[in-house]
Structure 1
Amino acid sequence: MLLISWSFTVVSLALASLIYYYVSIKGKAGDWGDGFKSAYFQLALRSLRSLGANQVHPKNWYPIPLVFCRPWGKLPENVPCHPKLADFANCMKKKGRGMSIFVSILDGDYHELAEDAKEACKQLSTYIDYKSCEGVAEIVVAPNMSEGFRGIVQTMGLGNLKPNIVVMRYPEIWRRENLKEIPATFVGIINDCVVANKAVVIVKGLDEWPNEYQMQYGTIDLYWIVRDGGLMLLLSQLLRTKKSFENCKIQVFCIAEEDSDAEELKADVKKFLYDLRMQAEVIVISMKSWDAQIEGGSPQDDWLEPITAAQQRIASYLAESAQADGKPIVVNEQQVEKFLYTTLKLNSTILRYSRMAAVVLVSLPPPPVNQPAYFYMEYMDLLVENVPRLLIVRGYRRDVVTLFT
C-alpha cells in the first residue's frame, strides 16, 4: 500500500489506531482464551498420562517436597509460612528441577472457613512467589491437625507427581509453651507418613538456616544409623550444589556396636560411596549397647542429670494421666531407660564430633510401639538438644540413589 499511495497508507494507519484506541477504552473486557495455554494444557495432560502411576527408576527420581507450613501454629497471623522454610525447600531441588507443594491446615468447619481458606491460599501463593520457589499453595480445612494431614498425605498430587517427602520443622516450642497436644500430633504425622510410604525430613534450628548469600564452611555430617534408600546421601549432595554449602565437605559417621568389625564396616561404606561417585570421609564410631551398659554398671556422671530429669518428667506425666483417666498407664521401665540411654548417647556423640558442623543429618528413630506419644517427644528432645542445625531424616521403602544418579 505504501508503494501505491503513501497518503492512503497514513490515513489507514491513523484510522486503525483510532479504532484500536476506542475499542480498548470503550470496549467490553473479556477473556477470549489463549491458544498457547490450551496447547500447554494438552501437553501437560499427555505428559502426566505418559508418566503413569508406577514407580520410576531411581535415576529418574526427583524429590517433590510436601512442605508443612504451620504445623504448630506459632506464627503471626499475617505470616503464612516460616520465612526460612522456602529456603530449605529450594535446597532440596535436584539440578534446579522439581516442584514443592506448600500446605497449611485451618482447624474448624469447612462451610464456615471456606473464604478464609481462599484468602490464606492467596497469601501463601504470594509468599512462594516472593521466595522464588517453584511450587503451589494448598489450604485444607479440617476438624483438627491430625485429620487434615491424614487427608493431605493420601490425596495430594497426581500419579507420579505426588509428593514423596514431607518437610516440617521440629516442634521446639512444645515444652516451653506447654502445648500438650503436640506430642500426639507429631507422632501421628510420622506414623501416617510411614503408612503412606512417604519420606520425612524434620528441620531443627530453622531460624538459623542460611539463605543463598550466607556462605557456610566446615562439614555436612551424616549419622547413618539405618538404611534409608540413600536419601540422606542424596540430601547431602543436594545441599552441596547450593552456593551457601558448596565449600562444605561431607562426613559419614557409621554407628556400630563395640563387638562389631569397625574396619570391615568402614571398607564396605567406602566402597559403596565410591561406586556412587560420592566423595566423603567415613568415620566409624563404636557405641556400647544397652545390654553392655547394664552389665557395665551405672551411666556416666554427666548423663545422670538429663536422664534423671527426663525420668522425673515421665513419672509426672504418668501420674497426671492416671489421675485424669482414673487408670494407670503400664509401661516397660527398662525399655524406657533403653530409649533414653540410646538417644542421649547419640546426642553426646553428635556434640563431640559435629559441634562445628554446618549441618547435621541423623536418622529419624521410629516411634516405639505401646508407648505414649509424650515419651517419644522426651526421646527426641534428648536427641536434638544443643544441636543448632539438624535434619532428622527418615527414608522409605525404595532406593533414591544408584550408580547412574
Structure 2
Amino acid sequence: MREIFIDNLLPDKRSGSGVFFDNFAIFFPSAIGILSGANISGDLKDPEHAIPKGTLLAILLTTISYLAISATVGSCVIRDATGDLNDSVPLLNGSDVCEGLGCGFGWNFTRCSQGADCMYGLAQDRQVLRLVSGFGPLILAGIFAASLSSALAFLVSAPKVFQCLCRDKIYPYIGFFAKGYGKNDEPLRAYVLTYFIALAFILIGSLDVIAPLISNFFLCSYALINFSCFHASITNSPGWRPSFRYYNHWTALFGAIISVVLMFLLTWWAALITFSLILFLLGYVTYKKPEVNWGSSVQASTYKMALSYSVSLSGVEDHVKNYRPQCLVLTGPPVLRPALVDFVGSFTKNISLMICGDILMEDKMALAQRSTDSLVKWLNCRKVRSFYTLLNGDSLRDGARTLMQATGLGKLKPNTLVMGFKTNWRECSPYSLEDYVNTIYDTFDANYGVCILRMMEGLDITEEMLCEDNAAFEPDEPPQQQCTDDTASTAPSPSDAHNSQQDHHIPSNQTTTVFQNKQGKRTVDVYWISDDGGLTLLIPYLLTRRKRWRHCKVRVFVVGQQQTIEEDRKEMVCLLQSFRLDVHDVIVITDSERPPLAKSLMRFENSIAPFRLRSGEQEGGIVHPGKAESPWRVSDKELDALRLKSERKVRLNEIIRRNSKHAALVIVSLPVPQSDCPSSLYMAWLDSLTFGLHCPALLIRGNQQDVLTFYCQ
C-alpha cells in the first residue's frame, strides 16, 4: 500500500538497533557470490566470456530480486505491531487515543510507540517474510536452499584455489593438500580442511558475530583483486589485455579503496588483523623468493621503473659525489672463478653495477650451448648481485674491447675492468701473454680503471672441479644442495669445465672462498704509490663497510723522504681526513729507493730470462728484425733502460712482504704499461710486486678521474 511504502521508505533509527555498518556487515554476505565463477574458472569451457556474463547477470538478477522483495514487504507491513487481534480500533473506547499508521487500517498499536514490548512488525520480526508469503514453509525452504548453495559453491571453489597455492610451493607445510584425486583432480584433502574451518565458524553460534568476520575477509579479497587489476593496468604491460569492454582502471582503484574503507568501518580490529596477516604472507614470499613465475604485475612494474629511471639517469651529468666503481669482471663462466666473483661482489653489492663477462674464444657454436640461466641462478644462489653477459671473441683483447664498448645501458655502464692475474704467464703462448697485456693497454685507452686480483692458490678452480667430478670417486648419493634460497641448481661436467665449450651448470656444492669468511681484526694495507684519482682508496673504504670486513683496519703506505717523514705523514693524514676516510694509520716508506736484495733481483732476472733476446740476435745494440715479429722479447737495451723501474718493483715487494705478513688484503698501485716496455717485462713487474704474498693482492689503477671529494654537499 502506498502509505505504508512511503512510511517505510524513510529511515527510523532506534536505540539498540546498531549503527548502519553493523547492519551492512550482516547483509553483505548475501552478495559475496560474485567470485564463484572465477574460483572454478579451470572447470569452465569458455571462462573468458562465461565469467563476465555470468557474474554481471547474477548481480543484476540478485539486485532485482532483493529490491522487489524489499519493496513488496515494505508496502504491506508496518514497522511495529503487537500481534494481538484485540487491538483493533472498533473495540476501543472512544476516550482512547490512536497513534501511528495502523490507525488508518483499523488497528491501534499506540502502546508500541509508548515503549511496550511489540514482537511483530517490519522493525521487530525477523521472520516477517513468512507472514506475508502465501506458504510460510516455502520461505524456510528457500533460506536453507540459498545457504546450502552458497556454502557448496565455496566448498567446491575455495579448495581448488588452495590446491593451486599448495602446488606452487610458496608456503611451507601445506604441500600435503596439493594432491588431487580422480579424473578431475579433485582436492579431497582440501575439502576436508575447508569443512573443518566452516564447522569452526558454525560453532560460534551467532550469525551477527560470524557475518562481520566473513564480510571483512571478502572485502579484503575484493580490495586485492581490484588493486591487482589497477596495478596491472598502470604498468602498461602488453600482456594485460582485459576483454571486458567497459573496464576502467580508475574504477578498479575506486573499488579497492572503498573496500578497504568499508573493512575498517565494519570491524576495525578484524581489518587490522587481516592486513597484518596479508603483510606477513607478502613479506614471507618476498624474503623466500620461491621459484614460481606467474608473470605478475610486480615484474612489469619493476621493468617499467627500471626503464624509466635508466632513461632519466641518462640526462643527469656525472658528479664526483655520485661516483661508483661499476665493474666489468672478466670471470669467464663465474662458477670457475668464484673468488673473483665474491671479491668484486663484496664492494659492489647494493652499491654499484657488476657485470660478469664471459668471452668464448675457441668454439663459436658454444655460445648457443652454454646455459646463461643456470649461471645467473648460481650467482643468485651465491647472493651476488651481478649481471652475466656472454659473447664470442677472437681473443681476450677483442672480446674485452667489445664488452667495454657495448656493455651497459646509459649511465649504468662499467667504468672499471676487473680481471684475474695470469699466473701461467711464463708457460703460456707468447701470443696469449701479448694479448693479456694489450687488454690492459686498451682498458686505459677506453678511460677505464683496472683492477687485477691475485691469490696464492690462483683463481681458476677448473682442475679442482675435475678432481671432484672424477667418475672413479663419485659418491653413492648426490650431495645435498647448499643454496640458502632453495634454488635448484646443477653442476658442470668435467669436460665442460675443462674445455669451456659445453653448457656450464651450477655445482651442487657451492665452493667457499676466503672472501666469504669474516676477516677478523686484520689489516687492509694500501700501498698508494701514485695518485690515480682516489680509486685505490675508495675500494678499501667500500670493503670495510661490509659485515665481513667491518673490523679490519686500513693502513695506508706512501713513499716519502727520511728528512720530511713527519711532514709527509701529517700531510697525508690531513688529506685522508678531508676525504672523510676512516684510516687507522699512515706509514711513510723511506727506503723504497734502496737497491733490492741480490736474491730478489736474481729471481726477477730468472723470470724474464726465457724472454730475453740471445746475443746472436743483437748486433751492436741493433735489435734483430725478428724482434718486430716477437714484441714480447726483451732486449738488453730495453732492460737497461727500464732497470731502475724494475729494481723499484722488486724493492717494493720486499717492503710489502715485510710489513703485510698478517694482512687480510694488500692493495698496490698498478704500474701503467708503456709502449717501450715489452709485455713479458711488464708481466714480470706485476709478478714481482705480488710475489710471495699469502693473502689476496689487488693491483689497482684508476683512470685519473677524481672519485673522492672534500665537499660533503
TM-score band by shorter chain is: 0.7 to 0.9
Q: 1:199 to 1:22 in 2, by over 3 A?
A: closer
- 1:98 maps to 352
Q: 1:8 to 1:299 in 2, by over 3 A?
A: closer
Offset of residue 82 of structure 1: 0.9
Offset of residue 147 of structure 1: 0.7
Offset of residue 369 of structure 1: 1.6
TM-score, length-scaled by structure 1: 0.83
Give me the identity figure in percent: 26
Instruction: Select which of 216, 227, 240 maps to 2:531.
Output: 227
Q: Which moved more, 1:154-163 or 1:370-379?
A: 370-379
> 1:250-301 deviations in whole A, cap 9, x for unaligned?
111101356x733332222111111122232111112454xxx7xxxx8643
- 1:243 maps to 547
Q: 1:37 to 1:356 in 2, by over 3 A?
A: closer
Q: What is the CA RMSD across the aligned residues, in angstroms?
A: 3.4
Read off the aligned partner of 1:147 and give its amino acid letter: D
Instruction: Select which of 248, 263, 268 maps to 2:571.
Output: 268
2:700 is paired with a residue whose SS is: strand
Equivalents in 1 of 2:663, 2:306: separation in Å?
A: 42
Equivalents in 2 of 1:53, 1:392: separation in Å?
A: 33
Q: Which moved more, 1:152-161 or 1:391-400?
A: 391-400
Instruction: Select which of 678, 683, 707 maps to 1:372.
Output: 678
Find out whether 1:402 has 2:655 as its counterpart.
no
1:402 is paired with a residue whose SS is: coil
Offset of residue 21 of structure 1: 10
- 1:142 maps to 393
- 2:444 maps to 194
Find out whether 1:6 has 2:147 as its counterpart.
yes
More strand per residue: 1
Offset of residue 396 of structure 1: 1.6
Read off the aligned partner of 1:97 and give its amino acid letter: I
Equivalents in 2 of 1:284, 1:356: separation in Å?
A: 19
Equivalent pairs, count? 382
Read off the aligned partner of 2:577 and give its amino acid letter: Y
TM-score, length-scaled by structure 2: 0.49
Equivalents in 2 of 1:336, 1:90: separation in Å?
A: 37
Offset of residue 354 of structure 1: 1.4
> 1:304-350 deviations in whole A, cap 9, x for unaligned?
42244245334258979969669897643322312321110111111
More helix per residue: 2
Q: Is the 8 A contact 2:359 2:396 kept in 1?
A: yes
Offset of residue 42 of structure 1: 2.2
- 1:57 maps to 319
Equivalents in 1 of 2:367, 2:600: separation in Å?
A: 51
Offset of residue 139 of structure 1: 0.7
Equivalents in 2 of 1:317, 1:39: separation in Å?
A: 66
Instruction: Select which of 320, 339, 346 maps to 2:645.
Output: 339
- 2:343 maps to 88
Q: 1:14 to 1:381 in 2, by over 3 A?
A: same
Offset of residue 187 of structure 1: 1.1
Read off the aligned partner of 2:354 and give its amino acid letter: S
Equivalents in 1 of 2:423, 2:616: separation in Å?
A: 24
Instruction: Select which of 362, 377, 382 maps to 1:126.
Output: 377
Q: Is the 8 A contact 1:69 1:85 kept in 2?
A: yes
Offset of residue 385 of structure 1: 0.7
Q: Is the 8 A contact 1:360 1:391 kept in 2?
A: yes
Find out whether 1:279 has 2:582 as its counterpart.
yes
Read off the aligned partner of 2:548 and give its amino acid letter: S
Equivalents in 2 of 1:144, 1:257: separation in Å?
A: 44
Equivalents in 2 of 1:103, 1:61: separation in Å?
A: 22
Q: 1:323 to 1:341 in 2, by over 3 A?
A: same
Find out whether 1:306 has 2:612 as its counterpart.
no
Offset of residue 227 of structure 1: 0.9
Deviating above 6 A after TM superposition, structure 1's stretches of 4 or more consecutive aligned residues are 18-26, 317-321, 323-329
Equivalents in 1 of 2:433, 2:445: separation in Å?
A: 18
Q: 1:18 to 1:364 in 2, by over 3 A?
A: closer
Read off the aligned partner of 2:326 and give its amino acid letter: I
Q: Which moved more, 1:7-16 or 1:229-238?
A: 7-16
Q: 1:8 to 1:87 in 2, by over 3 A?
A: same
1:250 is paired with a residue whose SS is: strand
1:211 is paired with a residue whose SS is: helix
Offset of residue 225 of structure 1: 1.0
Q: 1:160 to 1:6 in 2, by over 3 A?
A: same
Offset of residue 22 of structure 1: 12
2:411 is paired with a residue whose SS is: helix
1:243 is paired with a residue whose SS is: coil
Q: 1:369 to 1:105 in 2, by over 3 A?
A: same
- Taking the TM superposition and a 5 Å limit, the aligned residue runs for 1:287-306 are 287=591, 289=593, 300-306=597-603
Instruction: Select which of 386, 394, 398 maps to 2:692.
Output: 386
Equivalents in 2 of 1:39, 1:91: separation in Å?
A: 28
Q: 1:277 to 1:341 in 2, by over 3 A?
A: same
Structure 1 segments unaligned to the other structure (5+ residues): 71-77
Largest Rg, 1 or 2:
2
Equivalents in 2 of 1:102, 1:350: separation in Å?
A: 30
Q: 1:299 to 1:85 in 2, by over 3 A?
A: closer
Instruction: Select which of 114, 126, 131 maps to 2:367.
Output: 114
Structure 2 segments unaligned to the other structure (5+ residues): 1-27, 31-142, 168-182, 185-238, 241-294, 459-512, 618-622
Read off the aligned partner of 2:297 and give its amino acid letter: G
Q: Which moved more, 1:273-282 or 1:36-45?
A: 36-45
> 1:352-382 deviations in whole A, cap 9, x for unaligned?
2112211111000011222321111111111
